[in-house]
Amino acid sequence: MRLHYPVSFLKLLLAGFALVALPLALALLGAFFSLDRLGQQSAIAINRATTITRDSRALREHLTALERLARQQLVLNDQTGLDAYRRRRQDLLDTIAHLSPHSNSLAIRADLTNLQRTEAKVWQLLQLGELPVTSQKIIITSFAEMGETTARIVDHADASIEGDITKLYADSASARRQLLLQLWALLPVGLLLIGGTLLLIRRPVRQLEVAIRGLGEGRFDKPIDVDGPRDFVALGQRLDWLRQRLRELDEQKTRLLHHVSHELKTPLTALQEGSALLADRVAGPLNTEQSEIVSILRSNCQRLRKLIENLLDYSSIRFQPSTLRLEPLDLSKTILQVLEDQKLALTARNISVTQALLPLHIQADREKLRVALDNLLSNAIKYTPENSTITVRCQTERNRAVVEICDQGTGVPAEIAPRMFEPFVQGPAPAGSPVKGSGLGLSIVREYIGAHGGDVALLPNHPCGTCARIQLPLSMPQSS
């Protein structure tokens, strides 16, 4: 199932950012409205508490002042005192009017009505002038009753304010819990969206990375198909065009190697046969200097023949992948055969061979395995100094056959050791070697060993030199 990507990578990034930012924006909007609502409720509660507290306290102050003025009027009974009482009385009535809108929520409507009625009765009595003792007692008792009523009003106001504060605390706690719940709910959603966006971006990038690595490693057989935004798809198409072009160039190079190598073999054979005839004195006797020249000719003809055979083997591998002819083999016997083939080269340089060979049975192509081992042993002979030793080991390790061919040369630098199995990559030339190799021997070894399901590596051989290590699957578990 192919995903439907946006047209371009930029739009994919913008869509990803929008998807990730959307939950955060919703959370911020929710927090804004929640805090705004809480702020409005707090402002209303504070305004109401301020008004109720001011008016309830003013009610008590006005009542206290009225009681003092009433007592003075009972004693003095003058118009000035009555006028002062009238002005203070109006302040009391205004305060009662201010508290009236809150009377239902404070449950003080009855108290306000009773307070207003009682004060009106006192005002009527004070307007009569000289009052008997009975009326004076009524006024004093009325003020005591109004004091109790005012105290109840203040208590109700304080209780209402406490209730409003408690409700604000509860609302703020509820808003905090709601924000936390939204946060915990949005975190996995945000992480999921981030992961999905990264997956959408990573997928075509990964496909391009695999395609480029395949081109770098010379794998030109698999088409490059990139799924993603249009610009990524276009880039994948250009890479596929490059793959096809590189494949054509690789095939042309391989055919050229094959043809050139094959054509070189004919004159080389003539040179080799001619030098052999001269060495056998078919054309007549040779003096010492002539014999030395013929020996040099034969030696270099053999070297050149080895290089051409490597080129032919490599071109055969690259142009037409090798098919293995598997058969049961004793690996130790194959190694001994390769050592026998290289006996003259070992003797010429006075190199001895230390052997530690276990009889191991594998399924392999006899000829290709012989070529791989011969190339490794030839390298060891070429890089090992004269009058030294090469070590050849054959053993089992984790149910795999392991062959090690170790020389005592200068060794392969660690920085180029992993690349030595690539075509035409060569290490430092051995001291005294007049002809450099083709750089294909180890490539052929890797191809042949890899075709058998094994692997090969170059390891340091302490204290000096290089150890070529081959691992091959055993045909059956070996007894110790």
Q: How far is residue 335 from each of residues 291, 369, 386, 392, 396, measured CA to CA in Å?
A: 34, 9, 22, 9, 15
Which tops the pLDDT comparison, 141 or 195? Answer: 141
pTM: 0.46
At 76 the pLDDT is 80
The answer for 281, left when phi > 0, alpha when psi is -120 to 50, beta otherwise, is left
Q: Residue 363 to residues 73, 331, 340, 400: CA-CA distances in angstroms? A: 132, 9, 22, 12
- The overall average pLDDT reported for the chain is 79
How far is it, in rounded angstroms, from Cα 405 to Cα 465?
11
- What's the pLDDT score for residue 403? 93
Taking CA atoms, 391 is separated from 155, 178, 403, 407, 467, in Å, by: 107, 76, 10, 7, 9
* Maximum mean pLDDT: which of 104-108, 332-336, 419-423: 332-336
pLDDT number for residue 310: 66
Domains of the chain: 9-198 (1.20.1420), 223-321 (1.10.287.130), 324-473 (3.30.565.10)
The 3-class secondary structure across the chain, one letter per residue, is CCCCCCCCHHHHHHHHHHHHHHHHHHHHHHHHHHHHHHHHHHHHHHHHHHHHHHHHHHHHHHHHHHHHHHHHHHHHCCHHHHHHHHHHHHHHHHHHHHHHHHHHHHCCHHHHHHHHHHHHHHHHHHCCCCCCHHHHHHHHHHHHHHHHHHHHHHHHHHHHHHHHHHHHHHHHHHHHHHHHHHHHHHHHHHHHHHHHHHHHHHHHHHHHHHHHHHHHCCCCCCCCCCCCCHHHHHHHHHHHHHHHHHHHHHHHHHHHHHHHHHHHHHHHHHHHHHHHHHHCCCCCCCCHHHHHHHHHHHHHHHHHHHHHHHHHHHHHHHHCCCCCCEEEEEHHHHHHHHHHHCHHHHHHCCCEEEEEECCCEEEEEHHHHHHHHHHHHHHHHHHCCCCCEEEEEEEECCCEEEEEEECCCCCCCCCCHHHCCCCCCCCCCCCCCCCCCCCCHHHHHHHHHHHCCCEEEEEECCCCCEEEEEEEECCCCCCC
Kindly report the backbone phi and psi dihedral angles of residue 4, in degrees, each rounded to the nearest multiple of 5, phi listed first.
-90, 105
Q: Does position 475 have pLDDT exceeding 70, yes or no?
A: yes
Give the pLDDT mean for 355-364: 89
What is the CA angle 397-398-401, rounded to 5?
Answer: 45
pLDDT in tens, 317-345: 554 545 678 889 998 899 999 888 888 78
**pLDDT given at position 480:** 41
pLDDT-derived band of residue 391, with 50, 70 and 90 as boundaries?
very high
When pLDDT is averaged across residues 412-421 and rounded to a whole number, the result is: 76
**Least confident span in 2-16, 137-151, 269-283, 424-438:** 424-438
d(CA 157, CA 379): 105
Higher model confidence: residue 9 or residue 71? 71
The yes-or-no verdict on residue 270 having pLDDT over 80 is no
- 439, pLDDT greater than 70: no
Q: How many CB atoms lie within 10 A of CB 56?
A: 25
- Token pair listed for 62: 């006005």
Q: Average of pLDDT values for 384-393? A: 90
* pLDDT band (50, 70, 90) for residue 402: very high
pLDDT of residue 390: 92
94-103, 159-168, 245-254, 259-268: segment of lowest average pLDDT: 259-268
- Give the percent of the chain with pLDDT over 90: 5
Quote the pLDDT of residue 318: 54
Confidence of residue 479 (pLDDT cuts 50, 70, 90): very low
Nearest to 23 by CA among 188, 214, 178, 133: 188
The pLDDT assigned to 434 comes to 45
Asked if the model's pLDDT at residue 476 lies above 60, the reply is: no
Task: For the chain, give the percent of residues with pLDDT over 70.
Answer: 86
Per-residue pLDDT, 435:
45
Q: Which residue has the higher pLDDT, 360 or 256?
A: 360
β-sheet bridge partners, residue 330: 361
Whole-number pLDDT of residue 392: 93
| Contact predicate 153/59, CB 8 Å | yes
* Distance separating alpha carbons of residues 470 and 480, to the nearest angstrom: 20
Handedness of CA 413, 416, 422, 426 (dihedral sign): negative
Give yes or no for a contact between 436 and 303, defined as CB atoms under 8 angstroms apart: no
- Count of beta carbons in the 10 Å neighbourhood of residue 455: 14
> For residue 405, what pLDDT is reported?
92
